[in-house]
Chains A and B, each alone.
Chain A
Amino acid sequence: AQKITQTQPGMFVQEKEAVTLDCTYDTSDQSYGLFWYKQPSSGEMIFLIYQGSYDEQNATEGRYSLNFQKARKSANLVISASQLGDSAMYFCAMSGAGTASKLTFGTGTRLQVTL
């Protein structure tokens, strides 16, 4: 069984600062994927970044980067130069191999960006 743990229920960050959202995972699969999603108050799930278990380089997408430490089973999201629009709920998720593999979500971290 796969498990995702997000230990930060809420985080505050000042505008233009960087913030790290923690995520640890547990799986017995050799092949898996790690995802981060942003969920604003509207409810939509916005895909941010993906890291495959065999990817040797950390994934980056604009202001988002994923700090992947396989031995520690962690996949932290780093948001650089925070903006007010980054205030939202952030979910870490993982999938197994195969197109029918489900996404398992963590409990989420609510990020609040302040002036």
Chain B
Amino acid sequence: GAVVSQHPSWVICKSGTSVKIECRSLDFQATTMFWYRQFPKQSLMLMATSNEGSKATYEQGVEKDKFLINHASLTLSTLTVTSAHPEDSSFYICSARGLYYGYTFGSGTRLTVV
């Protein structure tokens, strides 16, 4: 079946630094990638949608300069949290969709900013 590999699984970074999260579709071409954020005991909130080779579309209230999304190839999308602050600590998870595939989720990344 379709597999999306997400790395790292968890990361701790200092306030003010940047963190990059990668999602790779291993056995299919991800034409669309969705990035979600989930705070403890809450639901998944969509941050942005990206199509391969195009700029990402951000949801209302999500700072595009802070959460940089790159979807340069059909198998790789990255989310970079720039100048991270403690309030950015959260669980980030990607979901990829290909032409003939449903939504395949990565395993998620727990980000802690100290």
Q: Which residues of A contact B (CB under 8 A)?
A: 35, 37, 42-45, 47, 50, 91, 95, 99-100, 102-108
Contact = CB atoms under 8 A, between A and B. Distances in A.
Contact of A102 (B49, B91, B102, B110): B49
Interface stretch (B13-21, B75-83, B93-101): B93-101
Q: Chain B interface residue count: which class?
A: 20 to 34
Given A43-B107, A45-B105, A102-B34, 8 more contacts: A43-B93, A44-B108, A47-B105, A99-B32, A99-B97, A102-B49, A107-B42, A108-B43
Interface string B1-20: 00000000000000000000
Interface of B: 31-32, 34, 38, 42-44, 46, 49, 51, 91, 93, 95, 97-99, 102-103, 105, 107-108, 110
Contacts of A99: 31-32, 97-99
B109 to A, nearest CB: 9
B102 A105 contact: no
A39 B42 CA distance: 12
A91 B105 CA distance: 14
B43 A106 contact: yes
Kindly name the residue among A35, A50, A100, A107 whose own CB sees the greatest number of chain B CB atoms within 10 A. Answer: A100
Contact of B102 (A42, A50, A104, A106): A50
A9 to B, nearest CB: 9
B27 to A, nearest CB: 16
A28 to B, nearest CB: 19
Contacts of B46: 102-104
B107 A105 contact: no
Nearest to B101: A99
B96 to A, nearest CB: 10
Nearest to B32: A100
Nearest to B95: A103
A105 B43 contact: yes
A37 to B, nearest CB: 8
A70 B31 CA distance: 30
Contacts of B31: 99-100
